[in-house]
A and B are shown apart, each in its own frame.
Chain A
Amino acid sequence: MEKFITLTSTAIPLAIENIDTDQIIPARFLKATDRKGFGNNLFKDWRYNKDETINTDFALNNSDYSGSILVAGDNFGCGSSREHAAWALVDYGFKVIVSSFFADIFKGNALNNGLLPVQASKEFLSILIRTIENNPETQLVVNLETQTISIHNSEISEGFEIDFYKKTCLINGYDDIDFLLSKKETIEAFEAQKQY
């Protein structure tokens, strides 16, 4: 897994609530047996019209916006457990998703793929969206070590929470398999004595 320490980037605002993983990557694209190429179909039915032409109203198609940070509405990633949603976001080029609330399974999947979910307060999220919409050149600074998200060259900043263990994994590029394998003896001992 790639390490994540800090990121400074412009951001794409997507002020829609309850974005479910079926929107992030529709089920018809889940037939692949590898992890590659899902970015092409990220938000497929919002990025493209019914006749396959580009939907110019959609934020990802707006040439004013760019960057590897997605700033999205409340309850991002709800619904299906498909990790393909995280793969699609990463493959498209996102490294950070900011929302005021994340669904549990998506959050875990994102962290397992080096994609940082930054949970901001509702107020801070509105400030970010307004600021980016007013000036798409706005740079955001995400610092995992200090657990802060800020608007570059401004006083506007907020702290965010992250599990200490997951933070360590991201900063060092470790994943859970390495850790669990190191615990093999403890696991086998548990199996030998389990009471239920």
Chain B
Amino acid sequence: MKKTLFDKVWDAHIVDSIENGPQILYIDKHLIHEVTSPQAFAALEDRGIPVLRPNQIVATADHNTPTINQHLPIQDKQSKKQLEQLTTNCTKNGITLYELGHKYNGIVHVMAPELGITLPGMTIVCGDSHTSTHGAFGTIAFGIGTSQVAQVFASQCLLLTKPKSLRITVNGKLKKGVLPKDVILYIISKIGTNAGTGYFCEYAGDVFENMSMEGRMTVCNMSIEMGARGGMIAPDQTTFNYIQGKEFAPKGDAFEEKVAYWKTLPTDEGAQFDKEYHFDAQDIEPMVTYGTNPGMGIKISETIPANDNASFKKSLEYMGFEQGESLIDKSINYVFIGSCTNSRIEDFRIAADYIKGKQKAKNVTAWLVPGSKLVESQIIEEGLKAIFDDAGFQLRQPGCSACLAMNDDKIPQGEYCVSTSNRNFEGRQGQGARTILASPLVAAATAIAGKIVDITKDVEQLEFV
């Protein structure tokens, strides 16, 4: 029987199958953070159940951490308590923790791949819906709720019904200035925010084959925004090259042995998917969103479509936009480059390449938030910080930051923010804040112009895009 990449990884992890019910799936790595783990630790403690495999868990502090003055005590009492609770829980249970200030600290979905914790063929879960990011390595990775976090603590397993399979193929050559973020925003704008619900997605075609690991992570990250629990890309030489030499990746013969196994994982020729979509790379252009879900996206040169649906109208009213309107020349006061979607070194290289020698518009507050301490160091070592400083951008310290505005990095009421994050929900970046999702390149260009500009007109001279 011909198998998909997903089938191969899933089947290798089935511990048992319940008649007329779910399967027991073994979990290789469990990533945890401060927000969705405390109640799971408490649930176990209440019932006197130990953590079964603490050495398969890695913790980081990211959602609720400040992005300035991380060396100082945290001001917000509740945040401080939540972070202390994480430290206590990890210490008590013998779990590795990269706490605030640690050289490996960072957003969970940036930190694990860059340390070689994420490997092809694994099952990875985390109490965070953007766990789908790790699928870029050919990994079954998905977000879980806190009750499931407790289940994995207790048993290193989850009870799951196998999802259906979906394949999205994009072939052709991307136009200059079209980034992985544009590809995924384009796909979601075409198929909608629930087209993937109940499915696990595989991204196929030469667009993804030619993409860097950073780009693949950006794409897989947003799988959940079309409802899919996860998205995967077949591991290939790009994947192996990225992993080789990473801190916790297998080394020497062990690495070669793994590579031989990973090479068996790609979908068999002729394997069947429950649903398929095909897109042409040439149809994709730099994207922006205009509404309050990630499916409400348009090409930057297009106008907002007309729609009579009440929820659509409510969304435009929140955003302060009209049907038929173009977003070009809209004045923007906030720009955020960061989040588990776009805070890797490649994202900052692209931004710096555009920004170099230019000045940020006076009306704009521009926050650059690296995904991890390692990315932060790279930004400094590669001289990108100097470019950002000269242009008037603010390079902050790692964390989830204004993607979900749990910390102080909030966009004020009514203000627009062109953001490289993943969700434009009402109030996501602060109460009353209006989010426009875009690529790091569109975000950088917005910060320079102080308004949304048609980036397709000046990308020719750029090196990285």
- Which of chain A's residues have a CB closer than 8 A to the CB of B12? 194-196
Using known A-B contacts A78-B194, A196-B261, determine if residue A187 contacts B146 with beta carbons closer than 8 Å.
no
Q: Residue B135 at the A interface, CB < 8 A?
A: no
B319 to chain A, nearest CB (A): 14
Task: Give chain A interface residues in 139-196, CB to chain B under 8 Å.
Answer: 163-165, 175-177, 179-181, 183-184, 186-187, 190-191, 194-196
Using known A-B contacts A31-B406, A79-B425, A176-B159, determine if residue A183 contacts B15 with beta carbons closer than 8 Å.
yes
- Which of chain A's residues have a CB closer than 8 A to the CB of B158? 176
In the assembly, what is the distance between CA of A80 and CA of B294, in Å? 13
- Which of chain B's residues have a CB closer than 8 A to the CB of A184? 155
Task: Please tell me if the beta carbons of B404 and A27 are within 8 angstroms of each other in the complex.
Answer: yes
- Which of chain B's residues have a CB closer than 8 A to the CB of A31? 35, 64, 76, 78-79, 81-82, 406
In the assembly, what is the distance between CA of A165 and CA of B49, in Å? 23
In the assembly, what is the distance between CA of A147 and CA of B443, in Å? 49
Using known A-B contacts A186-B16, A194-B26, determine if residue A79 contacts B157 with beta carbons closer than 8 Å.
no
Q: Residue A5 at the B interface, CB < 8 A?
A: no
Task: Please tell me if the beta carbons of B26 and A18 are within 8 angstroms of each other in the complex.
Answer: no
Residues 20-55 of chain A: 1 if any B CB is under 8 Å from the residue's CB, otherwise 0?
Answer: 101100111011111100000000010000100000
Nearest-neighbor residue (CB-CB) of A28 within chain B: B406
Q: Residue B148 at the A interface, CB < 8 A?
A: yes
Q: Residue B156 at the A interface, CB < 8 A?
A: yes
Task: Please tell me if the beta carbons of B129 and A22 are within 8 angstroms of each other in the complex.
Answer: no
Q: Residue A8 at the B interface, CB < 8 A?
A: no
Nearest-neighbor residue (CB-CB) of B258 within chain A: A196
In the assembly, what is the distance between CA of A45 and CA of B432, in Å? 9
Give the residue of A15, A81, A86, A163 whose beta carbon is less than 8 angstroms from that of B144.
A81
Task: Give chain B interface residues in 10-39, CB to chain A under 8 Å.
Answer: 12, 15-16, 18, 20-22, 24, 26, 35-36, 38-39
Q: Residue B440 at the A interface, CB < 8 A?
A: no
Q: Residue B171 at the A interface, CB < 8 A?
A: no
- Which of chain B's residues have a CB closer than 8 A to the CB of A26? 427, 431
Q: Residue A127 at the B interface, CB < 8 A?
A: no
Task: Please tell me if the beta carbons of B147 and A112 are within 8 angstroms of each other in the complex.
Answer: yes
Task: Please tell me if the beta carbons of A105 and B229 are within 8 angstroms of each other in the complex.
Answer: yes
Task: Please tell me if the beta carbons of B432 and A50 are within 8 angstroms of each other in the complex.
Answer: yes
Task: Please tell me if the beta carbons of B159 and A165 are within 8 angstroms of each other in the complex.
Answer: yes
Give the residue of A30, A45, A183 whose beta carbon is less than 8 angstroms from that of B426.
A45
A191 to chain B, nearest CB (A): 7
Task: Please tell me if the beta carbons of B148 and A112 are within 8 angstroms of each other in the complex.
Answer: yes
A122 to chain B, nearest CB (A): 13
Nearest-neighbor residue (CB-CB) of B405 within chain A: A27
In the assembly, what is the distance between CA of A75 and CA of B41, in Å? 30
Task: Please tell me if the beta carbons of A81 and B36 are within 8 angstroms of each other in the complex.
Answer: yes
Q: Residue A104 at the B interface, CB < 8 A?
A: yes
Give the residue of B150, B151, B193, B413 whose beta carbon is less than 8 angstroms from that of A18.
B193
In the assembly, what is the distance between CA of A152 and CA of B335, in Å? 52
In the assembly, what is the distance between CA of A108 and CA of B76, in Å? 32
B38 to chain A, nearest CB (A): 4
Stretch of B179-187, B274-282, B308-316, B385-393 at the chain-chain interface: B308-316
Using known A-B contacts A50-B432, A103-B194, A105-B229, determine if residue A23 contacts B405 with beta carbons closer than 8 Å.
no
- Which of chain A's residues have a CB closer than 8 A to the CB of B128? 80-81
Query: Size band of the A side of the interface?
Result: 35 or more
- Which of chain B's residues have a CB closer than 8 A to the CB of A176? 147-148, 151, 158-159
- Which of chain B's residues have a CB closer than 8 A to the CB of A16? 310-311, 314
Give the residue of A18, A81, A187 whose beta carbon is less than 8 angstroms from that of B311.
A18
Using known A-B contacts A26-B427, A187-B26, determine if residue A83 contacts B193 with beta carbons closer than 8 Å.
no
Q: Residue B450 at the A interface, CB < 8 A?
A: no
Nearest-neighbor residue (CB-CB) of A106 within chain B: B145
Instruction: Tell me which of B161, B224, B405 has the highest count of chain A C-beta atoms within 10 A of its own C-beta.
Output: B224
Give the residue of B20, B76, B150, B314 whose beta carbon is less than 8 angstroms from that of A177.
B150
- Which of chain B's residues have a CB closer than 8 A to the CB of A190? 15-16, 26
In the assembly, what is the distance between CA of A23 and CA of B427, in Å? 8
- Which of chain B's residues have a CB closer than 8 A to the CB of A187? 15, 24, 26, 155-157
- Which of chain A's residues have a CB closer than 8 A to the CB of B85? 33
Task: Please tell me if the beta carbons of B39 and A35 are within 8 angstroms of each other in the complex.
Answer: yes
The 4 A-B residue pairs with the shortest CB-CB distance, nearest first, are: A165-B21, A112-B147, A109-B145, A180-B155
25 contacts between A and B (CB under 8 A): A16-B311, A22-B423, A22-B426, A23-B426, A23-B427, A27-B404, A28-B405, A30-B64, A31-B64, A78-B227, A80-B404, A82-B145, A83-B147, A105-B143, A105-B144, A105-B224, A175-B147, A176-B147, A176-B148, A179-B159, A181-B49, A181-B154, A187-B26, A187-B155, A191-B156
> A: which residues have CB within 8 A of B?
15-18, 20, 22-23, 26-28, 30-35, 45, 50, 73-75, 78-84, 86, 101-105, 108-109, 112-113, 163-165, 175-177, 179-181, 183-184, 186-187, 190-191, 194-196
For the complex with contacts A34-B42, A187-B24, 8 further pairs of A-B residues with Cβ separation under 8 Å are A27-B406, A45-B426, A83-B146, A108-B145, A175-B147, A177-B154, A183-B24, A196-B261
